[in-house]
Amino acid sequence: MTETRLQPSETAQPPAMGRGASFIPAIWDRATGIAGRRGFIVLFLVIGVLLPLIDHNEGDIDAGANALAFAILALGLNIVVGFAGLLDLGYAAFFAIGAYAYGIFSSYQVQPEWWGFWEPFQWLGLVQHIQAADGPGTVHFTVSFWLMLPISAIITAFFGVMFGAPTLRLKGDYLAIVTLGFGEIVPIVARNVPYLTNGAAGLNGVASPTLFGYSFGVKSLPFYYLGLALAALLIFVSLRLKNSRVGRAWLAIREDEIAAEAMGVNRVKLKLLAFAIGAGFAGTTGTFYVAKLQTAAPEMFTFPVSVMLIVMIVLGGMGSVAGVVLGALILQLLQSVILQDMTQWIHAFGDLTGIEFFKQLDLVQSIELIFGIILVVMMRFRRQGLIPERAAVTALTHAQQTAVPSRSGVKSGLTPLHRRTIDPSKPLLEIRGLSKSFGGIRAVRGLDLDVMPGSVVGIIGPNGSGKTTFFNLITGLTQPDGGKVMLAGEDVTGLLPHVIVERGIARTFQNLRLFANMTLLENVLVGTHTRTKTGAIGAVLRTPRVRREEDAANERVLETLRIFGNRLMPRIQHLARTLSYANRRRLEIARALVSEPVLILLDEPTAGMNPTETLELTDQIQHLRDRGVTVLMIEHKLAVVNQIADKVIVLDHGEKIAEGTPKEVHSNKEVLRAYLGRSTDAVAEAAAAS
C-alpha cells in the first residue's frame, strides 16, 4: 500500500483553520479531554473543601474566599461572553449593584422616618423600628443576607435587561461600548449619591450573615465555604445550561446570529436571557462579597475588575467551564502568590549583585500590564484558551473515511418529517405581488407564485436575478416592500424569521451558514429549537419531562441524519467546520429538516458537489417529498432541476419571466434571451436560414 495513513495525532486535533497557531503542545489537549476536565473540576472542588483542614492560616483562607468571589464572577461572565458571545465590559457594575443592594438593606446608611407603612415589614423582620425620644423614630433595614442573595440577583438582572435591551438588536460591538459606559457610570453614581451609598468614603457597618443563630462575623472560614458552595453551584448551572436547548441556542447565536434566527431561535429573547442570568450571578456575588468585607466603596468596582474577569475567561477558554475555573485559579495565584514570591527573589538578586534596578522592581504592580499581554497573546495564538470549549475528538479511521456511501436510510422508515395535515387541493405557498428594492435596484418586482403541497418547484435564473432575495423575503430575513406571502392560507408576510420557522418554513443558505464551532449533532439539535420547550430553569433542573424532550430530539436528529446514510452518522461528534463541503451542504439540509417544516427552501443544494454526490442528493431531495415535505429550490444545475422539479420558474431582473414544466421552460424564448443574451433570436434565425 502506497497511500499514507493519517496519523491520529494529526487528525484528532481540530485543524488550525479559524484559530491562531498554538504554542501549547498537543499532549495538553489530550490530557484535557472530557474525562480530564471533569477530573479537574472535581479535583478543584475536593482541594477546595480540604484546603482549610491543611492550611490553618487565617490570611490564606481569607484570600481564598476573595479569590472564590472572583472565580464565581468569571463563571457568571462566561455565560454572557463565552456561551452567548456577548462582550460585556462592565460586569463589575452588576457586581457593584448587588453589593450596594445588600449594603443598603442591611446597614444604618438609609434611615427613613418611621410610620405605619413599615409595620408589616417589621413583622416580617425586614426592618427594625428605632425609637426616638421625640418624634416617630426611624427605620433600620435588617434584610437577611440569605434573602438578599436572590433579591440582588433579581435587581441586577433587571438592570442587565434595561441596559442590554437597547443594544441587542444591533451589532455586538454596541453592547461592548454600552456596558463599558455602564461600568464607568455605576461607580460615579455611587460616588454622587452619598445619601444611599455614603459616597467615596464607602458604605460601612454592613451586617454580617447569620445562619441558625451562628454569626459569620469577621471570620473567613464560613465565607470561604459559602464561596465554594456558590462556585460549585455556578459550575453546575453552567454545565447544565450549556448542554441544553438554551445553551445550544446561545452557542448558535454566538456562531452565527442570522443562521440561528433562521433556525427558529429568538435571538433577542435569548440574548437578554444570557445577559440577565450573567448580571444576576454578579449581583449575588456582590452581596456575598460586601457581606464578607462589610464595606462597599466605589473603587472596588471599576473597569480593571471587569478586565480581570475577561482575562480569566480568555486565558482559561471562552465558553469552557473547566477552563474558566483554571483561568481564575491561575490569575489569583499569580496575583497573590507567584508575583510576590518572584519579586522577593528579584530583590534578593538585586541585593546580591547590587544592581539598583532589581532592588526596586515590583512585579505585583505590573499585574495589569500582564493582563494586557495575556489578552493579546491568547487572542493571537490560542484563541480557544488553555482548556478549549471542545474536547478533541477521535478522528475517523481510514476505513470509515473511505467507506462506500450507503443510502439505506432513504429507503427505510418513510415516516413523515412533520406532523401537520395539509390540504392537498390548495396551494401550500401563495405569493402575491412580492417586491423589494435596495436603493435604486429592484431586486424582486411583483412576484406571484403558487406552490402545491407535495411538489418540488425549481427556481432558475441568471446570477443577480433576485433568487436569494426572494428566499430572504419568504423567510423574513429581509422585509418586503410590498406583496403577500401565505403559508397554508395563513399570512406570514414580514414575520420575524424565527416565527416563520415555527409556522413551518425552513431553509438552507447558498453560502453555508453552519455553526462552525459546534458539533454536527449540536448543529442539527439547534434545528429542533422551535419544536422543543425547555427553558433555563428546566435545563438546570433537568426534570424528567426535559429529559424526555431531549431524548426525543436526539432521536429525531439521528433519524434525520440517517437520510444521508453513512455520510454524516459517523461524524456526529465532529465540529461542523471540520466537514467537507458536500457534507456541510447535507448538514444544512438536515438542520432545516428537524424543524419539522412543511416547506423547505433549498438555496443551491448541490453547489460544489461532484456529479456522483449531486445524483445522490437529487435522489434524497426526491425522497423528502415522499415524506411530506414540499420543496422550493434554487438550482443552477439544470440536470437536477429537470429530473426532480414538477414546476420551474425563471427569474430575471427580479421578475418571473417564465413558469411551467422544465420542458416548457427550456423552449421559452424569454428564458433563452435571459441566459444567452439578446442576440439569440438572430442566432436562431441564422441557424434556420442556413
Partner 1 sequence: MESWEILLQQVINGLSLGAMYALLALGFTMVYGIIELINFAHFNIFMVGSFIAMWLMQLMGFTGQSHILYGLPLVGVLVLVLCVTMLSTGVLGALIERYGLRALRGVSGTAPMITTIGLSYILFNVILLTTGADTKNYSNPMPNIRWEIGDAVLRLREVMLWGVSIVLMVTLHYFVRRTKMGKAMQATAQDQEAARMVGVDVDRVVVITFFIGSALAGAAGVIFGLYYNYTSFIIGYTAGLRAFTAAVLGGIGNIPGAMLGGVLIGLIESLGGQYIAVRWTDVIIFSILVLVLVFRPTGLLGRAAPTKS
Number of residues that bind partner 1 (CB under 8 A): 48
Measured distance between the N- and C-terminal CA atoms of the chain, rounded to whole angstroms = 59
Instruction: Say whether residue 587 binds partner 1 (CB under 8 A).
Output: no
By beta-carbon proximity to partner 1, the closer residue of 380 and 533 is: 380
Q: CA-CA distance, 325 to 386, in Å (whole number)?
A: 11
Instruction: Say whether residue 121 binds partner 1 (CB under 8 A).
Output: no
**C-beta separation of 224 from 65 below 8 A:** yes
Instruction: Say whether residue 201 binds partner 1 (CB under 8 A).
Output: no
Residue 371 CB, shortest distance to partner 1, in Å, is 6
Span from 167-175, 293-301, 540-548, 618-626 in contact with partner 1 (CB under 8 A): 167-175
For strands 647-652 and 456-460, give the pairing.
Answer: parallel
The continuous run of DSSP H or E covering 659 comes out as strand 655-660
SS3 440: coil
Residue 420 CB, shortest distance to partner 1, in Å, is 32
Q: Which of residues 280-319 bind partner 1 (CB under 8 A)?
A: 303, 307, 310, 314, 318
By beta-carbon proximity to partner 1, the closer residue of 170 and 676 is: 170
* Residue of 75, 89, 139, 576 that binds partner 1 (CB under 8 A): 89
Q: Cα angle vertex 491, ends 497, 442, to 5°?
A: 70
* Residue of 50, 218, 352, 376 that binds partner 1 (CB under 8 A): 376
Binding string, residues 15-44; x marks residues near partner 1 by CB under 8 A: ---x-x------------------------
Going by C-beta distance under 8 Å and a sequence separation of 6 or more, which residues neighbour residue 426?
453, 488, 489
Instruction: Say whether residue 323 binds partner 1 (CB under 8 A).
Output: no
Residue 378 CB, shortest distance to partner 1, in Å, is 8
Which of 131, 208, 187, 632 shows the shortest CA–CA distance to 427?
632
Backbone angles phi, psi at 401, to 5 degrees: -70, -30
Q: Which of residues 336-375 bind partner 1 (CB under 8 A)?
A: 365-366, 368-369, 371-375
Question: What residues pair up with 482 in beta bridges, in sequence order?
Answer: 435
By beta-carbon proximity to partner 1, the closer residue of 225 and 303 is: 303
**C-beta separation of 657 from 674 below 8 A:** yes
SS3 482: strand
* Residue of 124, 130, 132, 177 that binds partner 1 (CB under 8 A): 177
Helix axes 145-164, 172-192, angle to 10 degrees: 130
Instruction: Say whether residue 383 binds partner 1 (CB under 8 A).
Output: yes
Q: C-alpha grid cell for residue 181?
A: 459606559
Span from 79-87, 409-417, 585-593, 645-653 in contact with partner 1 (CB under 8 A): 79-87
Residue 82 CB, shortest distance to partner 1, in Å, is 10
* Residue of 35, 42, 112, 169 that binds partner 1 (CB under 8 A): 169
Going by C-beta distance under 8 Å and a sequence separation of 6 or more, which residues neighbour residue 334?
367, 370
Span from 377-385, 493-501, 547-555, 566-574 in contact with partner 1 (CB under 8 A): 377-385
Q: Per DSSP, which regions of 424-504 are E strands?
A: 429-438, 441-451, 456-460, 482-487, 490-491
Instruction: Say whether residue 224 binds partner 1 (CB under 8 A).
Output: no
Q: CA-CA distance, 152 to 285, in Å (whole number)?
A: 9
**C-beta separation of 434 from 444 below 8 A:** yes
Residue 462 CB, shortest distance to partner 1, in Å, is 19
Q: CA-CA distance, 287 to 417, in Å (whole number)?
A: 50
By beta-carbon proximity to partner 1, the closer residue of 386 and 589 is: 386
Residue ranges binding partner 1 (CB under 8 A) = 18, 20, 81, 85, 87, 89, 163, 166-167, 169-174, 176-178, 180-182, 184-185, 188-189, 191-192, 254, 257-258, 303, 307, 310, 314, 318, 365-366, 368-369, 371-376, 379-380, 383
